Amino acid sequence: MMHKNYITLLLVVLCFKVHSQSAQKSTLIKNITIITASEEKVMHQVGFVLVKDSKIAYVGKEKPEILGSYDELDGKGKFVTPGLIDSHVHLANTAGFNRQLQKEYPELVDAYFEQLPRSYLYHGFTTLIDVNNYNPKRINAIGQSPLHPDIYTCGNQVQVMDDFMMEMEEYPVDVRYQFPFLYDRYNRQIVFPDSIDLASHTPKRIISGIRNQGGIGVKLAYEDEASGLIVSWAKPGIGIIRELVLEAQKYSMPVLLHAPSLEGHEFGLKTGVQIFAHGLWNWSADPKDYGNTILTGQHKKVLSQIGQKQSGYQLTFRAITGEEDLIENNFGADKHLENVYPKGYLKLLQTTEGDWGRKKILGRAEFLKKTNPPFYDAIKSGHVNDEEIWPALYKIYKTRLNTVAKFLAENNANFILGSDTPAMNMFTNPPGYNGFLEMKHMYEAGIPLSSIFRAATYNNAKAFHLEEEFGSITRGKIANLLILNSDPLLDVDAYNDIDIVILQGKIIERTQLSALNY
Ligand SMILES: [Zn+2]
């Protein structure tokens, strides 16, 4: 009796062992062109990559010795790269649905968020950094879906007292100071209600709050008159932001600055922020610069310094061209959208009800005309119709971004890929696909393909101190890999020519991730 029990037990143990071994089966990718970046160079060579469990176990020219059984994947004629990183996303925003639509069609919103992680993976994005719009409920739900990218956040965006962000929320005085905000003790012009304990609004407290939310970076905004808006907000001061940067540095947290103007870029350099969260698309507050697209001496000086300091630089073309697509182009007919938006969701976007974004943007022209006529006239010059003013403004922004990108590329800038997906709930910033479109814009601006590759892999991992796990094909790192049918160092479209996504060692055919299959 005892003996029989023992045998049964032994069999159970054996079965368990065999089973767990099969789950750990290694995969050898052979004869594949390995593309990966290091600090010094971008490597491009044919060889072998061994994936074991969730890690990269070997990379090299020679075939490794492998104990035990393993699967083989012949990569002849194909290319393996690290999984891509997009370091500027807003995961809790709903691309295409404003609050009204979200309220009316909750089941479509659920379908959108269910597909969201797969849409990023479909386009090769295996790591995402949500820079604000911190929404733990949404982000945790994405993290619990069966297939999802690794997600990091910067917690809540830092609001510096009465800054642009706070002003945009239009909170009345008795409410606006109830939220965490950074108190600028060098600016005594703002009078706070007595009930506010300013000691709990120091850089130390703000950084500690972000760390409690699990943030790995810190984001804040600087906007000025160059935007064409009449400044009714307080601009953050240099002194307090320097203190914030130093406090964040203690925990290796980079500070990201939204500052799309010349003055904003100068502010970023003076305060020592590590990352610029947008490209320079607002020239200066001088009315003669409103329609200018030529780099002045000062622009060149500032951009060269950004190159020299190797500050991280996110161009976020899509924040601009996404809006342009909303009003100018027939973006809704792009077949690629079928892979990222669930069917019913996409159908609604193509109705008049779903077209709210266009009206919203065109309404802004009217606002500008009323609030800042000199700005309005400068943009309008040469254009007869009022309707043409907004497209004209986008042309200016885009020309500037192209010029800035090219100049920075010539000055050895440290580009990091950030697509700002989705900015303003725009459907023209589709999850995953938007990152690919961002890379296309970078290429069209004249940034070399090797720099784009670095921006989406190694540079991004390094800027956020994630390089021990991600960003290159290196032994010991997480096995997040892409197998591409074409060479991303020869053709930017290779990033949309993905065959297989390897996620934490798990091999997934790209088509399995498409919204068309759900
Ligand atoms: Zn953003």
pLDDT per position as a tens digit, 239-280: 999 999 999 999 999 999 999 999 999 999 999 999 999 999
Q: How far is the CA of 420 from the centre of ligand 1 (A)?
A: 5
Q: What counts of helices (H) and strands (E) characterise the chain? A: 19, 16
Mean pLDDT to the nearest integer, 220-248: 93
Q: How far is the CA of 68 from the centre of ligand 1 (A)?
A: 48
Pairing of strands 255-258, 275-276: parallel
Q: How far is the CA of 297 from the centre of ligand 1 (A)?
A: 28
Task: Please give the span between the terminal C-alpha atoms of the chain, in angstroms, as a whole number.
Answer: 52
Q: How far is the CA of 130 from the centre of ligand 1 (A)?
A: 9
Mean pLDDT to the nearest integer, 350-355: 91
b/e code 42-62 from CB counts within 10 Å (16+ = b)? bebeebbbbbbeeebbbbeee
Percent of the chain's residues with pLDDT above 70: 95
3: pLDDT strictly greater than 90: no
Q: How far is the CA of 171 from the centre of ligand 1 (A)?
A: 21
Q: How far is the CA of 352 from the centre of ligand 1 (A)?
A: 26
Q: How far is the CA of 376 from the centre of ligand 1 (A)?
A: 25
Between 12-26, 47-61, 83-97, 350-364, the lowest mean confidence (pLDDT) is in 12-26
Q: How far is the CA of 258 from the centre of ligand 1 (A)?
A: 8
Total Cβ atoms within 10 A of residue 288: 10
11: pLDDT strictly greater than 50: no
Task: Report the half-sphere exposure of 347 (CA within 13 A, side-chain side).
Answer: 6
Q: Residue 370: helix, strand or coil by DSSP?
A: helix
Q: How far is the CA of 508 from the centre of ligand 1 (A)?
A: 30
Q: How far is the CA of 494 from the centre of ligand 1 (A)?
A: 26
Q: What pLDDT shows up at residue 24?
A: 58
Q: How far is the CA of 404 from the centre of ligand 1 (A)?
A: 19
Q: How far is the CA of 423 from the centre of ligand 1 (A)?
A: 6
Q: How far is the CA of 422 from the centre of ligand 1 (A)?
A: 8
Q: How far is the CA of 89 from the centre of ligand 1 (A)?
A: 6
Q: How far is the CA of 497 from the centre of ligand 1 (A)?
A: 27
189: pLDDT strictly greater than 90: no
b/e code 502-514 from CB counts within 10 Å (16+ = b)? bbebebeebeebb
Q: How far is the CA of 280 from the centre of ligand 1 (A)?
A: 14
Q: How far is the CA of 131 from the centre of ligand 1 (A)?
A: 7
Q: Tell me the whole-structure pTM to 2 decimals.
A: 0.93
Mean pLDDT to the nearest integer, 152-159: 93
8: pLDDT strictly greater than 70: no
Mean pLDDT to the nearest integer, 468-489: 98
Mean pLDDT to the nearest integer, 133-153: 93
